Structure 1
Amino acid sequence: MKVLVLHQGAIGDFILAIPAIWTAYLALKPEELHLVGHPSSTEVLKGVFWVKKIWDVNLYPFSTLWFKPIKDLDFKMALVFSKASEWQNALKGSGVKEIWMLPPFPKERIPLFHHHLKNLKSYGISLKTEYMGLFFKEEEKEEALKFLEKKGIRGPFFAVHPGAGSPKKIWPPERMANLSNWLYDRFECFPLVIKGPADQRACDEFLKYINVPHLLIENLPLRKLGALLKFASFFLGNDSGIAHLAAFSGCQTFVLFGPTDPVVFMPYGPYVRCIKKGEEIDEIKEEDLKETLQNYLSK
């Protein structure tokens, strides 16, 4: 049996669906599992052993699925992380016999990854799975270590991400830089600064105020970045796709929340600490984080 999984969410939302996708794979035991989504999100599973192929939802044939069936679509089953009846009807017209529609967001206040697993239960899948990580190959981990060595990073380092997808989710970059300076001076922990495509303004502001040695990483492919994060002492950043990547990679993750609800959008991983003080992210004070990080680093 060939199974198609469609998810067109952003990085963080897609990562929070991976536990459900993996659980479905284990339960259904398909001969092949194919993913359809945005490459900027689905690349986190590029090359993993259980995903046969990844398709770009923006390109033919799947870009046409909103308004017409796809001829000769060779899948018996589809898992669709959407409520869109257009996709359901087009898949039926494409010859897909069994279609599971999985609403992307919960109506109740529960973690998003739990919501996806709960949706699977409604289709008879209640298989319990433990944290699985991003299925890094040994060569990916070795490449990450070689990268760090080449850049001269041999001692403890932490990853810091000043940006986010929305300005309302960005803790003042000056404070993030001040905290990074303090971490280097107090604990000799080297800052690895992450900059993504949407982080120009926040990163420029951050770099004005950081005054200790650091390394800026720009637009690294997600799996390479995830492998680096696996070796970080911890990650510090805003509620963003990169925070979800850090947590899922197994890195101790400290993620700052403003208007979004950490109960629903908390990252999935074994070592996650969500920090929220109010609806505005700048209500979080530097001293609050210093206390939290000092307690962690003093263990």
Structure 2
Amino acid sequence: MKFKKILLTRMKYIGDVVLTTPIIRTLREAYPETYISYLGDAKAVSLLQNNPFLDEIIPFDFSKDSLPYQLKMYALMYSKGFDLTIDLYSNPRSALMTFATRATMRIGGDSKSRGKFYTHRISDDGLLKSAIDYHYMSLKPLGIVPKHYKTEIFLTVEERSDAKRLLQSIGVDVLKKIVAIHPGATWPNKIWLKEHFAGLIKNIIEKTDCEIILSPGPHDSELMNYLKNQYTSRVTILPMLPVRELASILSQSTVFVSNDCGPMHIGVAVGTKTIGIFGPEPIEIWFPYDRNEGHLPMFKKLFCSPCRTTSCFREGNETMECMKLITVEEVFKAVRERL
């Protein structure tokens, strides 16, 4: 099959977009002469800038989520003249965007309400698989087999230099090894205990000569203040940064410790040894990363895990047991082994 213009879309979420990068590379190798575009959330797809396997990035601005804006985007999709669209998200909005292209071949998830918008529907076989393998299912109608599994973000030399200058400007000694920590997450039950993070920081301060930087999320001010007040020296809180600048900062770090959230995937994709702390979500899906490259998931298997819920259903001392059982000592051991 030959195509002139392909649209690949994963409409939302930072980590999910990063996890599509192996599919981008594989698709480019299958269609070296085809024009390939990518549609997604403006913030998330900024991480795809400078990707040599894409010809165009089309940002969708969710802050302008009005009917006129959506109609404008539908018209844009139609005007592009795509003859193949691959929807890796298959929610109502992305299904409509895919349909609006009027491409002769439209690949997306099979569902009663949205399957009608696609010409080729992908059914979930129910088998546990990584997010990357799940995305690869969408390439089956094209006869493309999984080839690449390494995620990637392409930073420029200038971006890396700017990150180093920013770190220096806020007092970080860039000649030392840097441990970056992202202690927040969107879901409360994905957050390791703040006392555990404080204990980890204490161990790093007392037993290494590393610099420590904390990466805040949009709702982490209370958590950041707690951690900063515990240790006023050698702990630097980063300003809130656009995700691409955060990627540049993480590229300057030696080790990155993160809860299961978008920044965790960014850390891996820029090549920093990343330790992911997991609770309700299965590592088989959300941590498809090479242990030989220094990446490590920390988790405790309980009778109720992975529950995949936004709040723990257990009560009293058993609440969030999966996160409580991950000890400061074992996370610090993993950090030190990677320095």
Give yes or no for TM over 0.5.
Answer: yes
Query: Take 2:177 and 2:9, find their aligned partners in 1: how far apart are those partners?
Result: 39
Question: Would the aligned equivalents of 1:19 and 1:117 in 2 still touch at CA under 8 Å?
Answer: no
| Residue 7 (structure 1) shift | 1.1
Matches within 5 A, 1:116-131: 116-126=135-145, 128-129=147-148, 131=150
Instruction: Please say if 1:181 is aligned against 2:189.
Output: no
Structure 1 counterpart of 2:82, which letter?
F
Q: Which residue of 2 aligns with 1:253?
A: 274
| Residue 267 (structure 1) shift | 5.4
Query: Take 1:246 and 1:104, find their aligned partners in 2: how far apart are those partners?
Result: 31
Describe the shift of the 1:108–1:208 C-alpha distance in structure 2 as closer, same or farther (beyond 3 A). Answer: farther
Describe the shift of the 1:13–1:107 C-alpha distance in structure 2 as closer, same or farther (beyond 3 A). Answer: farther
Query: Take 2:164 and 2:77, find their aligned partners in 1: how far apart are those partners?
Result: 44
Instruction: Please say if 1:134 is aligned against 2:153.
Output: yes
Query: Take 1:54 and 1:235, find their aligned partners in 2: how far apart are those partners?
Result: 30
Question: Would the aligned equivalents of 1:71 and 1:94 in 2 still touch at CA under 8 Å?
Answer: yes
Query: Take 2:194 and 2:55, find their aligned partners in 1: how far apart are those partners?
Result: 38
Describe the shift of the 1:189–1:30 C-alpha distance in structure 2 as closer, same or farther (beyond 3 A). Answer: same
Query: Take 1:265 and 1:120, find their aligned partners in 2: how far apart are those partners?
Result: 20
Match of 1:218, SS state, is: coil
Describe the shift of the 1:184–1:16 C-alpha distance in structure 2 as closer, same or farther (beyond 3 A). Answer: same
Query: Take 1:170 and 1:160, find their aligned partners in 2: how far apart are those partners?
Result: 12
Structure 1 counterpart of 2:241, which letter?
L
Describe the shift of the 1:252–1:61 C-alpha distance in structure 2 as closer, same or farther (beyond 3 A). Answer: farther
Query: Take 1:30 and 1:97, find their aligned partners in 2: how far apart are those partners?
Result: 19
Q: Which residue of 1 aligns with 2:166?
A: 147
Query: Take 1:241 and 1:105, find their aligned partners in 2: how far apart are those partners?
Result: 24
| Residue 235 (structure 1) shift | 0.3
Match of 2:252, SS state, is: coil
* 2:60 corresponds to which of 56, 60, 66: 56
| Residue 122 (structure 1) shift | 4.3
Describe the shift of the 1:30–1:216 C-alpha distance in structure 2 as closer, same or farther (beyond 3 A). Answer: farther
Q: Which residue of 2 aligns with 1:38?
A: 41
Alignment RMSD: 3.0
Match of 2:150, SS state, is: coil
Matches within 5 A, 1:199-218: 199-218=220-239
Describe the shift of the 1:8–1:198 C-alpha distance in structure 2 as closer, same or farther (beyond 3 A). Answer: farther
Instruction: Please say if 1:28 is aligned against 2:31.
Output: yes
Instruction: Please say if 1:16 is aligned against 2:39.
Output: no
Task: State the aligned residue count.
Answer: 297
Q: Which residue of 2 aligns with 1:275?
A: 298
Instruction: Please say if 1:287 is aligned against 2:294.
Output: no
Instruction: Please say if 1:239 is aligned against 2:239.
Output: no
Q: TM-score, normalised by structure 1?
A: 0.86
Query: Take 1:21 and 1:177, find their aligned partners in 2: how far apart are those partners?
Result: 39
Describe the shift of the 1:226–1:66 C-alpha distance in structure 2 as closer, same or farther (beyond 3 A). Answer: closer
Aligned-residue sequence identity (percent) comes to 21
Question: Would the aligned equivalents of 2:178 and 2:253 in 1 still touch at CA under 8 Å?
Answer: yes
Matches within 5 A, 1:74-85: 74-84=81-91
Greater mean alpha carbon deviation, residues 179-188 or residues 278-287 = 278-287
Q: TM-score, normalised by structure 2?
A: 0.77
